[in-house]
Amino acid sequence: MEWRKCYLDVILVPLGFLTSIGYHFWLWHKVRTQPHTTIIGINASGRGNWVNGMMKIYLFSSTNSLFETRARVVYIRNKRILQR
């Protein structure tokens, strides 16, 4: 029996799929068990903190105009950037 290129395809294509599936399973497990060690978990945490901050600003400034609320948001964001 002679070696053909299709034999290599039979080996490498499923190996590529298994590698991809294995990586995605590992990433899912890592995000679920140790979320702050991945950029996905860090971004999710940052979004949660942002929502909490926006809700505090909204509740604090419910009697103020939209312009004043926007000015507060920009001020707080710039203050956080400068603190880094």
Q: State whether 29 and 40 are in the same domain.
A: no
| Runs of H (alpha helix) within the chain | 5-33, 39-60, 66-83
Instruction: Please tell me whether residues 40 and 29 are part of one structural domain.
Output: no
The pLDDT tens digits for 3-51 are: 777 888 889 999 999 999 999 999 999 988 998 888 888 898 888 888 8
Query: For residues 44 and 81, which has the higher predicted lDDT (pLDDT)?
Result: 44
pTM above 0.95, yes or no: no
Quickly list DSSP for 48-68.
HHHHHHHHHHHHHTTTS-HHH
Instruction: Say if residue 60 is in the same domain as residue 19.
Output: no
44 in the same domain as 29: no
pLDDT value of residue 66: 65
The count of domains in the chain is 2
Q: What is the mean pLDDT of residues 60-81?
A: 70
Question: Domain limits at 78?
Answer: 36-84
